[in-house]
Amino acid sequence: MYLSKAVKERIYELCDERNITINKLCMICGITQSTLANINARPNTNLTILTIMRICRGLEISIQEFFNSPLFEIDTLDDD
């Protein structure tokens, strides 16, 4: 799996766990909907670490918690 796809799936997992939509996530995190829409429109789009940090702050989780998922097993990730 590509890293960008793993990040996208993790964002959706976290939203599902909290029962919030992507739109609500954007409002909570102070990021534009187009920023997250790009990961759907262009699957290999790399989100910046700043965007991931904002998502983590909005969800009140650490960056370590964000990446603490089987999605990020290094042996299963491909370069984008």
What pLDDT shows up at residue 40? Answer: 65
What pLDDT shows up at residue 14? Answer: 95
pLDDT, mean of residues 68-80: 87
Rounded Cα gap, residues 46 and 18, in angstroms: 24
What CA–CA distances, in Å, run from 32 to 45, 58, 61, 62? 15, 13, 20, 21
What pLDDT shows up at residue 47? Answer: 76
pTM, two decimals, is: 0.84
What pLDDT shows up at residue 62? Answer: 97
pLDDT in tens, 9-56: 999 999 999 999 989 999 999 998 888 777 766 666 667 889 899 999
Give the domain ranges of the chain: 3-66
Protein fold of 3-66: 434 Repressor (Amino-terminal Domain) (1.10.260)
